[in-house]
Amino acid sequence: MVVLQLLSFWFLILGPVVAIWPQPSSISTGDTPLFINRDIKVTYNGNPILFDPDYESPKIDSKNVVQGGVRRALGTIFNHGLYPWMFHPRNETRSFQPRLSDRSFLKILEITQTGIDNPSTFKPLAGEVDESYELSIEIDGKASISAVSSTGILRALETFTQLFYTYSSYRDYYTPYAPVSIKDAPKFPHRGLMLDTSRSYYSVKSILRTIDGCAASKLNVLHWHITDAQSWPLEIPALPELSAKGAYNPNMVYTPEDVRMVQEYGIVRGVQVVLEVDQPGHISSLAWSHPELLTAYDYQPYTDFCAEPPCGSLRLNDSAVERLLDKMMDDLLPRLQPFSAYFHNGGDEIKASNSAVDPSVGTNDTAVVSKLLQSYTDKSSARVRKAGMTPIVWEEIPVDWNVTLDADMVVHSWLGSDSVSKITNKGYKVIDANYNYLYLPCGLGQWVTFSPGSSYQNGEPFTDWCSPFKSWERVYSYNPTAGLTNEQAEKVIGSEATIWSEYTDELTLDGLAWPRTSVLGEILWTGPLNEDGQSGSRNQTSAAPRINELRERLVLRGIQAARLQMTYCTEGGNCVQPLGA
Amino acid sequence: MVVLQLLSFWFLILGPVVAIWPQPSSISTGDTPLFINRDIKVTYNGNPILFDPDYESPKIDSKNVVQGGVRRALGTIFNHGLYPWMFHPRNETRSFQPRLSDRSFLKILEITQTGIDNPSTFKPLAGEVDESYELSIEIDGKASISAVSSTGILRALETFTQLFYTYSSYRDYYTPYAPVSIKDAPKFPHRGLMLDTSRSYYSVKSILRTIDGCAASKLNVLHWHITDAQSWPLEIPALPELSAKGAYNPNMVYTPEDVRMVQEYGIVRGVQVVLEVDQPGHISSLAWSHPELLTAYDYQPYTDFCAEPPCGSLRLNDSAVERLLDKMMDDLLPRLQPFSAYFHNGGDEIKASNSAVDPSVGTNDTAVVSKLLQSYTDKSSARVRKAGMTPIVWEEIPVDWNVTLDADMVVHSWLGSDSVSKITNKGYKVIDANYNYLYLPCGLGQWVTFSPGSSYQNGEPFTDWCSPFKSWERVYSYNPTAGLTNEQAEKVIGSEATIWSEYTDELTLDGLAWPRTSVLGEILWTGPLNEDGQSGSRNQTSAAPRINELRERLVLRGIQAARLQMTYCTEGGNCVQPLGA
């Protein structure tokens, strides 16, 4: 323990760590500075890439993806780079910088793709794309990136940008770390963030900014929980009434063009956008257009019928429901399929009480409801299959209702490690979104209001059900495979941080999502073992300088990420909990 | 209870409440719409006020204060007004609006000041300025504001803006509520927000924006905790080394011009800016320039010497300390005095362990330290008196160290109602900043990091000392005089919400401060009794529509305030906790 403590002091005394986030699998660096300027030559498989700031990728293929990645990486270094004074001792903000006289320049960045991309590279099932890469910077001025896929090249380019700093002049750019040699690959293939755009609407611009944050942190999935009970912002041209009546506002609609733009924006950044239409619960925003398809709509007291108002589920034994879903998915899914391998059918928090008042069912008998949900799920899955995609469902479908799924389907867990254990025991692949660690708006309070005299089931201090707030340290202590056997652990394809939007909208999104989602990103990239190769708590003290630096880089890239530590701490002050204290 | 519950439904069914925040003492409204446009004539004591958008107040006098207030109020209505679709049933966003045909206009706003301002109006001691006002809008197109002071007129103008909405055309502006008759006055004279600019630096722009938030919520004090242990951003021209060496960065300094600008910006908005130089603890940022004046600087383990690193206090029995403070305050205080009635001398969290290692003291004997602190406080107070201001100190000075203060001094409490009781028993005036309700960054996590193997005094889930987060419901349940006798309660001049900056900077400031500080504002404006004239919990359900509307208005005025409820709730959905659930 003393050794570890000394190690952290050693970092502080020696000055900045090499602040790559997430931590690469292996990295060695030197202490020779190399400058970079806009004259750098970049080649891709031997052909020059021109740095054209106005270039916009016209189509999704390997060359365009790489070219876009290079453009953004150089733009980040030259236009949104970090002058890192806050990571060096106070009043010595210039002395840490290399001298400008006799400086050497990086002359060339040679990018080599050793494999050939195929269509699944741009919309992979978990594990289908090799995201590994190698990156080197030689002191003679040559940098090299090598990767099997264009996605690996994107990951390498993000690492590349994190090696560079802006000079105090704001006109020069350098890495202090040549020679650099990095070999890197992620441990989990599914590294995501879920955004709920039903309870609050988010502008397309804010969603694109969220994808920027994912890409900067090597996350590869944006799970777009696009509809829910509160509003229906998803335009379905075949069913225009859904959003025309169910959106909060006529301006708060995602058109097919919006959805396509978000998906393409993600793909060229190595971030797959996976849409979810939650069903048969969490869909009562259809009541604005199709009340005849719902049961228990806005029933009170809501606590008997759903987790939050307005209650309501699709009727489980009603052909009109199936016809509407057929029409909806026939319209929607073929448009998503070119850009997504998955579609999320939802399935969380279904209550049998809704079936009791469902004219097509009329009972809350679990056996009856389970059987209906099996049939419902089979049909929902078939729609996704028909479009050539793989379905995802929330855990309640197989766990609570014992619905049997196809072996390749993915189950989205949120209730914690016991659930993950149950799901993997059934043989399914799991995405974990353990609410105890990954529900990022938790702890901010109640969205429901209390009148005087109401019995405060969750009264003073009016904390919410999943309080406390998940601090970055809490997220960093998360282990996606905690308590699992090796066989179970192999079924966990990754995790998602989660932004539900009861009391969040785009004005406070960035500070809630970032950098905590990046903290999850490191766990998923580096795996469940800590830096000593052990399972168990990671070292916050050695991680802090790196996540603090990522935070500054995110801010410079336009994301209003939250501060995690005072500048006093980042500049080298001792902000470590004393041993024994 | 059933009646109250029905009442809240009644509000929801009838549609929008008159959403003035804070709630006026008395208000009656009608349902005749009146439009307003830029042709409105505004008079002040019979003389016309011209609406000149480029007008900037050249000096602080009644006429200029009122003129600036009118300019901002009309600017708010015409340029930053609220089209309130989200407070009306979905898809009926136009039907709630008055018809544009045959509309009547507000023709004149007559402002009458019934008293004469004196210099203390612009920098009052608590209670010195009469902030009451009357406001009426007649259906014949005449509005009147009457107030004793120009400050009262500013408060009336804020209320005035909240009566108006922007039409869906975004070209027309109206109130639906004529005739309007309001009589209003605050219950507590000190209604504040404290901002810590030492642990994180805040740009002047963000401080001015914070004053905007105060003014919009009828708060009247910005307590600027300008220095602390972590950085010294306050430029003192007579001692240039303090900020030259102690600021985080040469750019992160508040010049005398900055301070003056912030103070003047506040005054013309009815917000007094009160500076604090915390001492003799919480001042170790002087170590960058004057280490010889400190004891226990950066001692470890810090937990033995201070609440957070770097530890260090001014030596308590050292004439060099007194000389430096004389020089500092001779420079600073005369510049502040034209704009502030108070100066805050700090005094929190002093530990006797620092005196044990203080070469000028050499003991932690409480009797010795108390005597030295009496002398220290007397001298600090004398400096403030010399400049013509009244000192404020944190509660530890009289409570923990039994220091005797002048009867007119104000004690700033933070440890809760027991402390307030003790302080008022000593006969002192109190500002309460009860951390259980008013410390707004609480609950976000630890700023300190833990190494594996350190014994987690506050380990997983890594909550901070004052967790949980103070939700708006929690703030709204705050009572500044809870548990006090009437005699004690009379000593409570008001309260402050508090932004400490361990993990907050200007990027997340708005969402943390707003609208929760406004929630405190209503409690201080309307007094400790709830809407039924009883002490005890206020009705969140009837308050929610009003605070939600204020939030939207703050956003439109450039403040990124946090969302408290989903649009589903604001548009009339039932988001009330069911009785008995």
> What is residue A188's predicted lDDT score, i.e. its pLDDT?
98
Which residues 89-128 of B have a C-beta within 8 angstroms of A?
Answer: 90-91, 93
Same structural domain for residues B380 and B409?
yes
pLDDT digits (tens, 9 = 90+) for B265-283: 999 999 999 999 999 999 9
Q: Are residues B56 and B197 in the same domain?
A: no
Question: Quick check: B567 and A502 CB within 8 A?
Answer: no
Residue B567, chain A, CB below 8 Å: the answer is yes
When CB atoms are compared, the residue of B309, B453, B463 closest to A468 is B463
- pLDDT tens per residue, range B302-313: 999 999 999 999
Residue A1: how many CB atoms within 10 A of its CB? Answer: 12
* A562 → closest Cβ in B457, B508, B577: B508
Residue B242 lies in a domain: yes
Mutation site, B444, B467, B501, B535, interface A, largest A CB count within 10 A? B444
Whether residue A359 contacts residue A295, with contact meaning beta carbons closer than 8 Å, is answered with: yes
From the candidates B264, B308, B349, B502, which is the catalytic residue? B349
| A484 is a domain residue | yes
Residues 534-553 of B with CB under 8 A from A: 536-544
Query: Do B451 and A539 lie within an 8 Å CB cutoff?
Result: yes
The ipTM, to two decimals, is 0.95
A101, A42: one domain: yes
Residue A569 forms part of a structural domain: no
Label the pairing between strands A26-36 and A173-184.
antiparallel
* A6: in domain: no
d(CA A470, nearest CA chain B) in Å = 8
A205 vs A65, A523, B71, CA distance in Å? 21, 28, 33
Does B579 score more than 70 pLDDT? no
Residues of B in contact with A200 (CB under 8 A): 563, 566-567
Burial class (CB in 10 A: 0-12, 13-18, 19+), A367: exposed
Nearest to A153 by CA among A235, A74, A237, A67: A67
B225, B257: one domain? yes
The nearest CA of chain B is from the CA of A300 a distance in Å of: 8
Longest dimension (CA), chain B: 83
Query: pLDDT tens digits for A205-262?
Result: 999 999 999 999 999 999 999 999 999 999 999 999 999 999 999 999 999 999 999 9
Q: How many domains does chain A have?
A: 2
In terms of domains, do B195 and B323 share one? yes
Q: Which of B184, B213, B243 is the last residue of a domain?
A: B184
Residues B285 and B252 occupy one common structural domain: yes
Whether residues B92 and B231 fall in one domain: no
Among A138, A308, A349, A473, the one annotated catalytic: A349
Q: What residues of B are in contact with residue A560 (Cβ under 8 Å)?
A: 507-508
Identity of residue B211: I
Domain co-membership, B70 together with B107: yes
- Domain boundary pick from A158, A184, A210: A184
pTM for this entry:
0.95
State residue A463 phi and psi, 5-degree precision: -80, 155
Nearest to B310 by CA among A495, A172, A304, A576: A576
pLDDT, position B92 = 85
Q: Is the dihedral of CA B356, B362, B367, B373 positive or negative?
A: negative
pLDDT for residue B455 is more than 70: no
**Catalytic site residue A349?**
yes
On the question of pLDDT at B457 being above 60, the answer is no
The pLDDT tens digits of the residues spanning B35-70 come to 999 999 999 999 999 766 555 656 899 999 999 999
Q: Give me the percent of chain A exceeding a pLDDT of 70.
A: 93
Contact B541/A574, CB-based, under 8 Å? no
Chain B (428-487) residues lying within 8 Å, Cβ to Cβ, of chain A: 436, 443-457, 460-464, 467-474, 477
A127-158 pLDDT, tens digit each? 999 999 999 999 999 999 999 999 999 999 99
Is A1–B454 a contact, with Cβ atoms under 8 angstroms apart? yes
| pLDDT value, residue B544 | 95
pLDDT tops 50 at residue A11: no
Q: Are A208 and A176 in contact (CB under 8 A)?
A: no
Is residue A488 situated within a structural domain? yes
Query: pLDDT-based confidence at B453, cuts 50/70/90?
Result: low
- A127 and A268 share a domain? no
CB crowding B398-431: b at 16 or more within 10 Å, else e:
bbbbebebeeebbbbbbbbbebbbbbbeeebbbb
Residue B58 pLDDT: 67
B-chain residue closest to A567, CA distance: B200
Q: What percent of chain B has a predicted confidence (pLDDT) above 90?
A: 88
In a domain, A498, yes or no: yes
CA distance B213 to B547: 13
Instruction: Give the tens place of pLDDT for each residue, A302-317.
Output: 999 999 999 999 999 9
Residues B311 and B412 in one domain: yes
Cβ contact (<8 Å) for B577 and A451? yes
Domain match, B309 and B267 both: yes
For chain B, the average pLDDT equals 93
- CA A210, A215, A217, A222 dihedral sign is positive
Interchain pair A577, B450: CB under 8 A = yes
Structural domain of residue B52, as residue ranges? 18-184
Asked if residue A384 and residue A312 are part of one domain, the reply reads yes
User: Which of B299, B448, B457 should be substituted to probe chain A, the one whose Cβ sees the most A Cβ atoms within 10 Å?
Assistant: B448
Residue A546 in any domain: the answer is yes
The CATH code of the domain that includes A480 is 3.20.20.80
* CATH code where residue A56 lies: 3.30.379.10
Instruction: Give the closest-approach CA distance of B323 to chain A in angstroms.
Output: 26
> Do the Cβ atoms of A469 and B580 come within 8 Å?
no
- Which pLDDT tens digit goes with each residue over B473-508? 999 999 999 999 999 999 999 999 999 999 899 999
Give the least confident one: A46-55, B222-231, B362-371.
A46-55
Q: What is the pLDDT of residue A461?
A: 82
Residue A435 domain-assigned (yes or no): yes
Cβ–Cβ gap A579/B454 under 8 Å: yes
CA distance A213 to chain B (A): 16
How much is the pLDDT for A10?
38
Residue A530 is predicted with a pLDDT of: 72
Among B134, B165, B184, the domain boundary falls at B184
Q: Tokens representing A532?
A: 């000593």
